[in-house]
Amino acid sequence: MAYAKRRRILYPRSLVADKGHFVVYTTDEKRFMVPLEYLSQNVFIELLRMSEKEFGRPTHGGITLPCDSTP
């Protein structure tokens, strides 16, 4: 039951994010759709802060996270 309710980060198949998601990029230029509900998670908020410190705020293009896509 808990597994069925878990949200996952998706590797997108289209150029537009699905409803309820936003797009981020990794340092190896992979694109992922992330559920909006992750924005309320402390771990993800810290990851976005780290991204801002390393890359600044994006003026053109998407948010790049300070990590690569390998597991």
Tens digit of each residue's pLDDT (9 = 90 or more) over 26-58:
999 999 999 999 999 999 999 999 999 999 988
- Count Cβ atoms within 10 A of the Cβ of residue 51 and give its class: 0-12 exposed, 13-18 middle, 19 or more buried: buried
Distance between CA atoms of residues 50 and 8, nearest Å = 21
Residue 54 counted as domain residue: yes
| Confidence at residue 5, expressed as pLDDT on a 0 to 100 scale | 52
Residue 51 counted as domain residue: yes
What's the pTM? Answer: 0.74
CA distances to 36, 37, 49 from 42, in Å: 13, 11, 10
Residue 59 counted as domain residue: yes
By residue range, what is the domain housing residue 21?
2-64
Residue 70 counted as domain residue: no
Residue 55 counted as domain residue: yes
Number of structural domains found in the chain: 1
Residue 50 counted as domain residue: yes
Least confident of 2-11, 14-23, 31-40, 43-52: 2-11
Answer yes or no: are the C-beta atoms of 23 and 31 closer than 8 Å. yes
Residue 71 counted as domain residue: no
Higher pLDDT, residue 16 or 1? 16
| Confidence at residue 2, expressed as pLDDT on a 0 to 100 scale | 47
